[in-house]
């Protein structure tokens, strides 16, 4: 769309902000420690002409068992980074990136939230690791690949 033409005033109003859709969570799996959801609006497939990378954000909603395990994990960091913040953890968002043809993945960011939806931790990483068949990472990757159009899901 053209916003201006040569020698004339603006033909259309230029947008001053972008509308970014909020998360749209879909349940993907039940685990012993949590329920896993993925945000369909966070799914990025690139490049578009031949899929080889895939980014997505998933949410882990902890049950009692998972909550105790997550609090224990976060307690290791609490003295240096998050004193007592982990006590109110409710769910965790993971920002994944996958190399589709190579069965490799990495978690770019791990963010824990309390029951009111306020961020209480932010951890990052970027090491590539092999996707183990049947692992949580594999479940995320397979769930997403099974929902892509057939032409996009082949490396």
Sign of CA dihedral 56, 128, 60, 89: negative
Q: What percent of the chain has pLDDT over 70?
A: 74
Sign of CA dihedral 24, 87, 66, 111: positive
CATH tag for 25-145 (out of 2.20.140.10, 3.40.50.150, 3.40.50.300, 2.40.128.710): 2.40.128.710
What is the per-residue pLDDT across 37-83, written as a single tens digit (0 to 9) for each?
Answer: 999 888 888 776 667 888 999 999 999 999 989 888 887 765 555 55
- pLDDT at position 101: 82
Q: Which residue would you say has higher pLDDT here, 87 or 137?
A: 137
Long-range residue pairs from 137-140, CB within 8 A, at least 24 positions apart, any chain: 137/96, 137/105, 139/28, 139/29, 139/36, 140/28, 140/36, 140/38, 140/56, 140/58, 140/96
What is the per-residue pLDDT across 8-25, written as a single tens digit (0 to 9) for each?
Answer: 555 555 556 666 678 899
Per the CB < 8 A criterion, the answer to whether 137 and 131 are in contact is yes
Does position 2 have pLDDT exceeding 50, yes or no?
no
- pLDDT at position 118: 87
Provide the pLDDT confidence category of residue 108 given band limits of 50, 70 and 90.
very high
Question: pTM value?
Answer: 0.76
Q: Which residue would you say has higher pLDDT here, 15 or 5?
A: 15
- pLDDT at position 123: 83
Mean pLDDT (the chain) is: 80
């Amino acid at each position: 769309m053209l916003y201006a033409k040569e020698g004339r005033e603006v033909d259309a109003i230029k947008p001053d902000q972008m509308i970014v859709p909020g998360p749209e969570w879909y349940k993907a799996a039940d685990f012993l420690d949590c329920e896993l959801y993925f945000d369909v609006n966070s799914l990025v497939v690139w490049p578009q002409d031949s899929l080889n990378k895939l980014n997505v954000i998933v949410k882990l909603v902890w049950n009692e068992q998972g909550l105790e395990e997550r609090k224990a994990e976060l307690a290791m960091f609490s003295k240096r980074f998050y004193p007592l913040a982990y006590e109110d953890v409710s769910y965790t968002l993971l920002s994944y990136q996958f190399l589709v043809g190579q069965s490799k993945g990495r978690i770019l960011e791990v963010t824990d939230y309390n029951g009111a939806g306020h961020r209480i931790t932010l951890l990052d990483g970027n090491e590539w690791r092999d996707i183990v068949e049947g692992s949580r990472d594999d479940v995320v990757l397979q769930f997403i690949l099974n929902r892509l159009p057939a032409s996009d899901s082949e490396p």
